[in-house]
Every structure is written in C-alpha cells, then in structure tokens.
Amino acid sequence: MNILLTGGAGYIGSHTFVALAAAGFTPMILDDFSNSSADVLARLEALTGTPVLCERGDVADVALVGALIAQHTIAAVVHFAGFKAVGESVAQPLKYYRNNVGGIIALLQAMDAANCRTLVFSSSATVYGDPASVPITEDFARSHTNPYGHGKLVCEDMLAALGTSNKAWRFGVLRYFNPVGAHPSGLIGEDPAGVPNNLMPYVAQVAVGQREFLNVWGNDYATPDGTGVRDYIHVQDLAAGHVAALQALLHGGAGGGSFTVNLGTGKGHSVLEVVRAFEQASGKKVPYRIGPRRAGDVAQCYADASLAARLLGWRATQTLPDMCRDAWRWQSRIHGSPRPAASR
C-alpha cells in the first residue's frame, strides 16, 4: 500500500518513513524542504535498502497533491508538514495559520477530489493548554495559548466537521507529547536551526561542548524537584504509533472509524532528571543554571496513554535512558559537520 507522507523529510516524518517501509508499506514523501534537507533521502535509502520516492513541493498545491495521489494510487496520507516553533507563531501568526491551517485545507481538498479519504494527522499535547490535572486523557478540555496551538485545535475541529459531512473519511488524530531521541543507527535525527527551544536538543548541545550551560526555566513549580515535568517519547516509539494508526484505519481496526489518541509514555520526567539521564548516557557533564520560568510553560504535562493501547495495541517501550543514548549518538555524529538545513 502506498502512503504519502507530507513533511516526510522532517524529524518525525523521516523516522516514520523507515518504520512504514519495515512494516511492508510503500511510503513516499512530499516536502518543500523549508525545515529539512534533501540529504536525508540518501540516508533513508541506506536505512530501507530501497530507492526513496520524493516530490519537492508545497502541500498547499492542490493540483500537485491531487496528481501525486492519483498517479501513485495513494491509500492514505500522513500529514506532518507544517511549522512548529511556538515563539515564532506568536511573532508571525499569519505565517503559521497559512501553512498549518491553510495547508491541511488544501490537502483535504486534493484528497477528496482524488477519492483518498484516509488521513493521519500530527496533533500535539499543546491542545490541552494548561491541563487541570495529570495524567491527561483524550477527553480533557482543550485550549490554546499561542497561534501554533490554536492552529492544531482548528485542524482537529475541521477534521471532525469533515467526518460528519461524509462518512467515508477516516481520521487518526495523534496527539504527540514530547518527541525526542533519534534512530539507533545515528543516521537520522533532529538538528534544530539556531538556539534550540526544546530541552533535549539543548542538553545534547551542552554535552557535546557546543553550548556552555543549560538554562533551567524555573525550579519553583509544584513538582517533586520544582522543575517542569514532561512526557518524553522516543521518536522510534512515535513512528511505531503511526504504523499502528495506519493499520487500524486501513484494515478496519479501532472500531472501523476515526479516532483521537495520545501518543506518550504515560510517565513524566523533570528537567533535572533529563539532565542526569543525559550525563549518564553521554559520560559528559551538563552544567546548568536555574533561571526564571519561561512564559507559557506549564508545571506538568504527561499522558494517560491507555486509549492508544486499547484501540491500536500500541505502547511506548523505550525509556528515558534509551532516548538519551540515541540522542547522544546522533549529536556526537553531527557535531562539527556542516549543516545544510534545519532538520537532517
């Protein structure tokens, strides 16, 4: 079965590409390389042992997407393409609404016209805003604190409306918690442009000596050690979650309809726990300084991941030490090599 991955050259898309190929699907990529490099394609070929089908283009190009779906008899689409920097979305909201909301509207129009109505969508734990309690189940109230998060919420609502309008649509909405780590080969991973916003890439850059110390954003939260608690999930587990979602959508699993599930481990780890685990995995010191709280941060955010287990038979299996080990392998390999683009 041929599966189209929009944004498939990016961090999560590239790992999912490998997992889908291993599961017997034939994935193909549509990417405009706005946040990735075509260099990843050769690495995907090395990992899968087959030529990689990839089209350079914008997901908002209805004619292009429609032609791809028809020409390659695409059975389902996994929609990763989009921008993901929360701070940038506050500074440039229209850029985010255009690409993240406009992009999926165009994609759905192209899919509808080509009679392909099965989609997996990359949503986020950001739709829970500041959760009333933890662990978070899928029926928690949704809210948003920035245009990026608002865009995810709007996309989820649009999919629900479309599903009501035509019962032929099948949607798997996957709410990712905090994806980290890299492929165990060290060939693909995440390499954010500029100063990393996210904890794990920042810690990795401190460990490798690229940055002097980590700023810990607040140690006065109501958490065991006062630092923020998150549900870090290995990107390989996340990739396996997409395979399970597609299998359910295409083979009548999960009750034969659409579903929305959390993809997390169900365990929370504090910033200082991540620092210690990374020190263990790398054998390097990660110096840190306690700074003020970061605007918009919540104290704790971790999933109740039992619905995905029940519906899809999927569970995360990798631990924080596994995530740090693979992030470190990747970081040590790319350190010092020229970076052609944001994610590689």
- Residues with catalytic annotation? 148
83 forms part of the interface with ligand UFG (CB under 6 A): no
Structure tokens at 298: 């919540």
Looking at the DSSP assignment, which residues form a beta bridge with residue 143? Answer: 128
Neighbouring CB atoms inside 10 A of 92's CB total: 14
| 139 Cβ contact partners less than 8 Å away, ≥ 6 residues apart | none
- What is the Cα–Cα distance from 129 to 141, expressed in whole angstroms? 9
Q: Which one, 78 or 162, has the nearer CB to ligand UFG?
A: 78
Taking the complex as a whole, the smallest distance from the CB of residue 8 to ligand NAD amounts, in Å, to: 7
Choosing among ligand NAD, ligand UFG, none, which partner's interface includes residue 118 (Cβ < 5 to 8 Å by kind)?
A: none
Q: Which residue has the tokens 């140690």?
A: 219
Contact 241, 308 (CB under 8 A): yes
Choosing among ligand NAD, ligand UFG, none, which partner's interface includes residue 197 (Cβ < 5 to 8 Å by kind)?
A: ligand UFG
> Which of 108, 110, 199, 240 lies at the binding interface for ligand UFG (CB under 6 A)?
199
Choosing among ligand NAD, ligand UFG, none, which partner's interface includes residue 86 (Cβ < 5 to 8 Å by kind)?
A: ligand UFG
Contact 78, 120 (CB under 8 A): yes
- What is the Cα–Cα distance from 234 to 322, expressed in whole angstroms? 8
Structure tokens at 99: 């690409």
What is the contact mask toward ligand UFG in residues 167 to 196, using x (rule: CB under 6 A)? ---------xxx------------------
Residue 52 identity:
V
> Which of 12, 40, 86, 173 lies at the binding interface for ligand UFG (CB under 6 A)?
86
Q: Which stretch binds ligand UFG (CB under 6 A): 120-128, 158-166, 242-250, 251-259?
A: 120-128
Show contacts with ligand UFG in window 248-307 (CB under 6 A): 271, 294, 297, 301
> Which of 126, 247, 258, 343 lies at the binding interface for ligand UFG (CB under 6 A)?
126
Taking the complex as a whole, the smallest distance from the CB of residue 195 to ligand UFG amounts, in Å, to: 9
- What is the Cα–Cα distance from 315 to 337, expressed in whole angstroms? 35
Count of residues in contact with ligand UFG, rule CB under 6 A: 22
Among the listed residues 294, 175, 167, 195, the one whose alpha carbon sits nearest the alpha carbon of residue 238: 175
> Which of 7, 66, 228, 241 lies at the binding interface for ligand UFG (CB under 6 A)?
228
Choosing among ligand NAD, ligand UFG, none, which partner's interface includes residue 172 (Cβ < 5 to 8 Å by kind)?
A: none
Contact 157, 173 (CB under 8 A): no
Contact 212, 284 (CB under 8 A): no
Binding footprint of ligand NAD on the chain (CB under 6 A): 6-7, 9-13, 30-36, 58-60, 80-82, 84, 99, 103, 122, 124, 176, 179, 343
48 forms part of the interface with ligand UFG (CB under 6 A): no
Q: Which one, 84 or 150, has the nearer CB to ligand NAD?
A: 84
Determine the distance from the C-alpha atom of residue 37 to the mean position of all C-alpha atoms in its chain, rounded to a whole number. 17
Taking the complex as a whole, the smallest distance from the CB of residue 176 to ligand NAD amounts, in Å, to: 4
198 forms part of the interface with ligand UFG (CB under 6 A): yes
Contact 197, 86 (CB under 8 A): yes
Residue 290 identity:
I
Helices (H) and strands (E) in the chain, counts: 12, 14
Positions in the binding site for ligand UFG (CB under 6 A): 84, 86, 124-126, 176-178, 197-199, 202, 214-217, 228, 230, 271, 294, 297, 301
